[in-house]
A and B are shown apart, each in its own frame.
Chain A
Amino acid sequence: MAFELVKRPMPSRLFAALSPLIAFTLTLLAGALLFQLQGVDPISGLYTYFIEPLTETWSLHELAIKAAPLILIAVGLALCYLSNNWNIGAEGQFILGGIVGSALPVLFPAFANSATLPTMLALGALGGACFALIPAYLKNRFNTNEILTSLMLVYVAQLLLDWLVRGPWRDPAGFGFPQTRAFGDFALLPAINDAAGRAHWGVAFAVIAALALWWLLRSTRTGFEIRVVGASPRAGAFAGFSEKRLTLFVFAVSGGLAGLAGIIEVSGTIGQLQPAISPGYGFTAIIVAFLGRLNPLGIVAAGTVLALTYLGGEAAQMSLGLSDKAVRVFQGLLLFFVLATDTLIHYQLRRSGDKHGA
């Protein structure tokens, strides 16, 4: 091999800041290559994907609508990943939040007053949190691998939603379409500025959640425990931190935020339940969390970038005839490059045989 890794004495601050940018640049280059292969001019392809959606007010609103759930989910996941809890079932927690929150307008449409929406949001967060506590409890009590259990529950949630909207919750006046009744006005999350575009108050929730978790990680004892346990479980144990309590906490928070994102998506963007309520937000949020360096403020930026890929994908499909499947490739590549460049934070690359510092 032509090079070897040498551990840095201290993590490099320079590369901690640069690596997401390098990764994004590499993704752009790979994207250009992908466009070229599909017979599209790379420059106009990249322009359509990453610049055009930023040039109009309405599309900026769409960008915010797509970034909000990604940020809400990813800041919660960051807590999990920082403390070595691998919750990868956010997609399921998102769906369950959507289901539980929608129970109110679907089952009790007559309950329509100013308390409807807050109750729905609370129920959604609660539903997501409870669903996330299943893998957390199993991990604590039975030592079960949380990666596998949280992921299996995604399929369970998807099937549950499918059953509800085709079965008991189907709109009786809906001509047999697999969807619930359309929500009444009191059950819909309003737009922030109706005249300018569709962006709803969920966007504000996302920003508040990011700020709150940033503060939690930075300035509270719980945040300190999360970072210590993540860096060294043994050190955490010696300090008397309860790893199990922390596991329950981070799963509950991330599940709650994912559930909140789910009900926000249903009540703010879709307006009813249907067989699919998420274009893979729960999985894309994993990429967002890593691209944002597991830092809530970084995640706000990363969530916006990933939202841009969704939007750019739609635009490129319409105006260039590019496949919308390319979006998932972009997102996957981005995570690959982020992880690869992250190595430079902790290691230096040296030519093999160079004995300096060895």
Chain B
Amino acid sequence: MEPELIVNVLLTIATASTPLLIAAMGELVVERSGVLNLGVEGMMVVGAVCGFGGAALSGNPWLGVLAGVCGGVLASLLFGVLTLSIATNQVATGLSLTLLGLGVSGLLGESFVGQAGTKLSAVDLGPLSDLPIIGRLLFGQDPLFYISLLLVAVVSWVLFRTRAGLILRAVGDSHDSAHALGISVVKIRYAAVAFGGACAGLAGAHLSLVYTTQWVENMTAGRGWIALALVVFASWRPWRVLAGAYLFGGVTIGQLHAQAFGVAVPSQLLSALPYLATIVVLVLISRNRRLTLLNTPACLGQPFVPHR
């Protein structure tokens, strides 16, 4: 293959992987705090419609990004109020957030369907970006690509190298002990949930401002769920999420190229590959029950009601 073609493939893989990475990074922090938010898909699709709308109405894609983040945070706080303040079942509430998010985004985005969007333009560092081969890969991608990598580094550092990270993990592993130490479990979890919402919203905005610059109903197409699977796959470790996201981006783009090259397999079956790959990967990673138990935040999914 020509180097030019390889560069193009790698660039598309990065673009396909970035939203998965951002959303999964947010969910990782949420789950580390002991909360299982199954509403990633819903928050992401709200982020996508807010991102598209914000950019279309203001003409500035960065305001779109901001709107996407705000949409994600608002959606996540809805989940937070229910699960954290009034202790509802997290699985059911997360599901309802996804259903509500899909509905609300469909309604909000009705006038955007078929409208041309605004693209968040790629970084241009002049001569650096013009370097052969590595120029576009390292210095010429969309800004959210760099933010996603930064996010991995920052989350990893905060979680394992700072006091705040220690507190977050303590809350996720034993909320009763954390409460006894005087840590406000509910406040920490609110912060984590809001961070997860911001990330999911940002990931959604990436979909409607970078990946495809248009609004299509249900455009997340299960990516929020794949992000959830990535967190399990990564056994709640940030750098493994990075690897997982790029693996899935690779599968997604690989099947698209296979379709373009006219491989003698029906396109629908190729399109099913990322979903099937998710199942296979989950099976491989979960089969060691002891290791899974060891890695899972011990209080994941359990409601916490402070008592005096």
Q: Does B bind A? A: yes
Q: B289: which A residues are within 8 A, CB to CB?
A: 143
Q: Could you write out 25 A-B pairs with CB less than 8 Å apart?
A: A144-B279, A144-B282, A145-B229, A145-B232, A152-B222, A152-B229, A156-B276, A160-B268, A163-B268, A166-B268, A286-B99, A287-B96, A287-B99, A328-B107, A329-B103, A331-B103, A335-B95, A336-B78, A336-B82, A336-B93, A339-B92, A340-B82, A342-B88, A343-B86, A347-B87
Contact A329 B100 (CB under 8 A): yes
Query: Counting CB contacts under 8 A, is A155 at the interface?
Result: yes
Query: Counting CB contacts under 8 A, is A1 at the interface?
Result: yes
B45 to chain A, nearest CB (A): 11
Query: Counting CB contacts under 8 A, is B161 at the interface?
Result: no
Closest to B108 in A: A325
Q: B287: which A residues are within 8 A, CB to CB?
A: 142-144
Contact with A along B198-237 (1 / 0, CB 8 A): 0000000000000000000000011001001100100000
Closest to A164 in B: B268
Q: B131: which A residues are within 8 A, CB to CB?
A: none
CB contact under 8 A between A138 and B96, given known A162-B268, A340-B86: no
Query: Counting CB contacts under 8 A, is B59 at the interface?
Result: no
Query: Counting CB contacts under 8 A, is A32 at the interface?
Result: no
Closest to B287 in A: A142
Q: A339: which B residues are within 8 A, CB to CB?
A: 82, 88-89, 92-93, 96
| 10 other A-B residue contacts (CB within 8 Å) besides A88-B95, A332-B101, A336-B96 | A81-B92, A144-B283, A149-B279, A151-B222, A283-B99, A287-B96, A328-B100, A330-B103, A332-B102, A340-B88
CB contact under 8 A between A290 and B92, given known A5-B305, A328-B103, A329-B107: yes
B100 contact from A86, A143, A156, A336, Cβ within 8 A: A336
Query: Counting CB contacts under 8 A, is B115 at the interface?
Result: no
Contact with B along A273-312 (1 / 0, CB 8 A): 0000000000100110010000000000000000000000
- Residues of B whose CB lies within 8 Å of any CB of A are 38, 78, 82, 85-89, 91-93, 95-97, 99-104, 106-107, 110, 221-222, 225, 228-229, 232, 266, 268-269, 271-272, 275-276, 278-279, 282-283, 286-287, 289, 292, 305-308
> Which bracket fits the contact residues of A?
35 or more
Please report the C-alpha to C-alpha distance between residue A151 and residue B282 in the assembled complex, in whole angstroms. 13
Contact with B along A154-178 (1 / 0, CB 8 A): 0110011011001100000000000
Query: Counting CB contacts under 8 A, is A188 at the interface?
Result: no
Contact B103 A148 (CB under 8 A): no
Query: Counting CB contacts under 8 A, is A333 at the interface?
Result: yes
Contact B286 A159 (CB under 8 A): no
A56 to chain B, nearest CB (A): 27
CB contact under 8 A between A331 and B99, given known A1-B85, A336-B78, A339-B82: yes
B192 to chain A, nearest CB (A): 18
Q: B222: which A residues are within 8 A, CB to CB?
A: 151-152, 155
Instruction: Give 8 nearest A-B pairs by CB, closest first.
Output: A328-B103, A332-B100, A163-B268, A335-B96, A325-B106, A329-B103, A325-B107, A159-B268
A194 to chain B, nearest CB (A): 36
